[in-house]
Structure 1
Amino acid sequence: MLRLGILGSTRGTDMLALISAIKTNRLNATINLVASNKHDAIILQRAKEYHLKTLYLDPKQTDYHQKLSSAFKNANINMIILIGYMKILPTSFINDWQNKIINVHPSLLPAFAGGINNNVHEAVLNAGVKETGCTVHLVTEQIDAGPILLQKKCAVLPNDTVETLKQRVQTLEGEALIEVLMQGVF
């Protein structure tokens, strides 16, 4: 059974897809800890609504990542999922969790690598591409450059806005995360 730790800074929309898959027995996993570097992150509020254990750590602490790693180890986590986590993980943290950290990126990497949240969708629209999607990949020291586990695609529609495109891509993100975790392709 997967024992997931989720690390997020934003709304945690993809976490809701994971919770649903777990509750319907589609995904054999538990979410043991949801952690954030933002005390007011909506992901923490949502986790509490589902009675999940949450943790806020102040990222200004000099030993922030060490405490975060310890918290995940103490929660008996065997896979960390980054969901809208707006901080770069240091090499020491990545090494502690080698091949155990998955990120979901809102584009078809390597296209639009390094971008975050709405900036990616805006860049997609500005580039005039006809197709976008999401990428689930292992986290390495290079940002958005780890081994790709799965990509899901969708069309960019002529009338798309950042928000409509984001909603469509986020639906794919949840599906992709579940698929990767179900297949254990990491």
Structure 2
Amino acid sequence: MKNIMVLASGNGTNFQAIIDAVDNGVINNGKISKLICNNKRAYVIQRAKENGIPSVLVDAAGRDYNNLILSLLKAEEPDLIILDGYMKILPDSIINEFKYKIINLHPSLLPAFGGKGYYGKKVHEAVIKSGARYSGCTVHFATNDVDDGPIIDQRVVEVSDYETPETLEEKIHEEEHKSLVYSINLLLTERYTINGKRVIRD
């Protein structure tokens, strides 16, 4: 059974999608071992509690914040780390320690509307302002450059003439759950390779 850890900062609907996929057997060779959260008001903590998943709340303003995150991750020896609306940029020390084991979900079709400053509704506002006819979501590996890692999966939605950031966010959110669960399965079943090598192995 592969070990999945989740880093989250908000509501955690994608976290819930993973839980449901595990419970329903859609993800049948992995389980969430721990949630790490940096926002004491985040509803994702309640989701973890209701589903019997251990969680750790870490003070994002703490001096040793990133070192603590690194030590928590290393202690669990995760096969896969999911960034679910995690509102911090991971330092190189964590990225390098878990190379090609950290995946992020971004609410646009990368490389468009990605990088520093593009997060949450800011992404949808920029898409609409640009006049783009399509947007979507991207699951990709987290690397040393923000939103620039190898792409695992993308889902596309149409941007209507009357779109608002809120309606576009809702459209994309529906696809995010599917894309994330698909990507997790792809990685845990060893069907994803980089340069001919499996990313996650037994």
What TM-score, normalized by structure 1, do the two folds share? 0.95
Equivalent residues in 2 for 1:106-185 (5 A)?
106-114=107-115, 115-184=118-187, 185=192
| Structure 1 residue runs without a partner (length 5+) | none
CA deviation string 1:27-82 (max 9, x = no partner): 02211111111111121122212121111111222221221122123234221100
Show the counterpart of 1:2: 2
Show the counterpart of 2:25: 25
Which 4+ stretches in 1 moved above 6 angstroms?
none
Instruction: Choose 173-182 or 65-74, whichever is displaced more.
Output: 65-74
Task: Answer 1 or 2: higher relative contact order, Cα 8 Å, separation at least 6.
Answer: 1
CA deviation string 1:125-153 (max 9, x = no partner): 11111100001100111000011111111
Calculate the aligned-residue CA RMSD, in Å.
Answer: 1.3
* C-alpha displacement of 1:167: 1.3
Q: SS in structure 2 opposite 1:31? A: strand
Rounded to whole Å, the distance in 1 between the matches of 2:181 and 2:148 is 21
Rounded to whole Å, the distance in 2 between the matches of 1:165 and 1:2 is 34
Asked whether the equivalents of residues 139 and 146 of structure 1 are also in contact (C-alpha less than 8 Å), the reply is: yes
Q: SS in structure 2 opposite 1:69? A: helix
Inter-CA distance 60–80: structure 2 relative to 1 (3 Å threshold):
same
Show the counterpart of 1:73: 74
Q: SS in structure 1 opposite 2:122? A: helix
CA deviation string 1:134-186 (max 9, x = no partner): 01100111000011111111111222221121111111111111111111224
Show the counterpart of 2:35: 34
Rounded to whole Å, the distance in 2 between the matches of 1:14 and 1:130 is 25
Percentage of pairs with the same residue: 39
Give the letter for the 1:113 counterpart: G
